[in-house]
Amino acid sequence: MNTKPPVLLTNPIHPQWLPVLQQHCEVTIAPDISPSTLIRLVANAEGLMVRAQLPPDLFEHAPRLRAVVRHGVGLDMIPVTSASMHRIPVANLPGSNTTAVVEYCLAAMLHLRRGLADIDARLRDRGWAAARPKADQGTELAQSVCGIVGVGAIGSRLAAAANGLGMRVLGLTRRPDSLPQYVTPADKRTLFEQADVVVLCCPLNQETRGLVDASILATMKPDALLINVSRGAVIDTKAVVTALRSGNLGGAALDVHDRQPLVGDEFVFDCPNLLLTPHVAGITATSMRAMSEGAVTTMLALLRGEQPANVVNPEVFL
């Protein structure tokens, strides 16, 4: 009698695709994502689907594991080097949440520039006259400069959208020759000095950790915006808050944070002109369905012994 391979999910997946996985696998959803829980549950798993930070030594406790799939794109949650040492293939889903993140960035720009939520609140609380913006309030995105740090799948799509809105686009990337013709390559200082909106959508690595610190913030226009959909460690959060409080930065949107989840007592909560969201830029019903479909399809292929093209450490198959 054939037994189904056990697969551990760190978090739930889209309800449309969970039954598909369950048809072929014995599925366990972790009750919490603490290191001790994940280490205990992975001991019997042959497959692991990842939506949470993994302990760095997890694969030392997973003797049966033969497939790891990131339900998403970013690989910083997975100790890929350790997986490779244990001959475990790791796959992710490039492009699966690109549209969701780009739309979040545009929504954040509009939120910070137009302040519609505040206008709505004033209209409800204080009436028509109090709600109407003054003549010097509300700045249009057209004719302004959008600086994008990390012009990969997300950055490229955002650049196209910004260009479509009439923005001039600057891009900071390791591959300037790959930029679309409507994106002007720029070094770090030039981008931060000239941009009216800076969007961080780069991966977290040794080059980008602490990329935005007090010194680079001091070069920005005082009414500029900063949007971070990368990782919390890419910015010095205290320096960003200081710039916002002092009026040296016009506004910011942070979807990723130094410590997640936020619990409500962090210093960011009483900062002016700061939009806070709980790491949801890539999450919509549409993207969750797409990510779950890709994750389930890839997991089943790996468990069948296949080598999908989206494996990030293909050397383990050699």
What mean pLDDT value characterizes the chain?
Answer: 96
- Give residue-wise pLDDT tens across range 179-209: 999 999 999 999 999 999 999 999 999 999 9
**Can you spell out the DSSP letters for 188-200?**
HHHHHHH-SEEEE
20 pLDDT tier (thresholds 50, 70, 90): very high
Q: Give the integer Cα–Cα distance in Å for 293 and 22.
A: 13
Query: pLDDT of 227-274, one tens digit each?
Result: 999 999 999 999 999 999 999 999 999 999 999 999 999 999 999 999
Q: In the chain, count H helices and then E strands.
A: 11, 12
What domains appear along the chain, each with residue ranges and CATH number? 6-96+285-317 (3.40.50.720), 98-276 (3.40.50.720)
Q: What is the pLDDT of residue 1?
A: 53
State the pLDDT at residue 138: 83
pLDDT for res 70: 98
Average pLDDT over residues 4-30: 98
Nearest 5°: phi and psi at 23?
Answer: -65, -30
The reported pLDDT for the residue numbered 141 is 97
Here the contacts of 178-184 (C-beta below 8 Å, separation 24 or greater) are: 178/151, 179/151, 180/156, 183/148, 183/151, 183/159
Mean pLDDT of 211-223: 98
pLDDT at 298 exceeding the cut of 60: yes
Q: What mean pLDDT do residues 289-303 have?
A: 98
For residue 100, give Cα distances in angstroms to 157, 198, 232, 280, 310. Answer: 11, 18, 19, 9, 20
In the chain, % of residues over pLDDT 70:
99
Average the pLDDT over 151-158 and give the result.
Answer: 96
Rg value, the chain, Cα: 22
The answer to whether 228 and 252 are in contact (CB under 8 A) is yes
Positions of E strands within the chain: 6-9, 26-29, 47-50, 67-70, 90-91, 145-149, 168-172, 183-185, 197-200, 225-228, 251-254, 274-276
Strands, sheet with 274-276, edge to edge from the N-terminal-most edge strand: 183-185, 168-172, 145-149, 197-200, 225-228, 251-254, 274-276
Cβ neighbours of 95 (radius 10 Å): 14
Q: How far is CA 42 from CA 10, 30, 50, 68, 302, in A?
A: 10, 10, 12, 11, 17
Encoded amino acid at 241, one letter: V
pLDDT single digits (tens) 86-104: 999 999 999 999 999 999 9
Tell me: pLDDT of 175 over 80. yes
Contact 234, 209 (CB under 8 A): yes
Q: What is the dihedral of CA 13, 17, 22, 27, to 10 degrees?
A: -10
Per-residue pLDDT at 243: 98
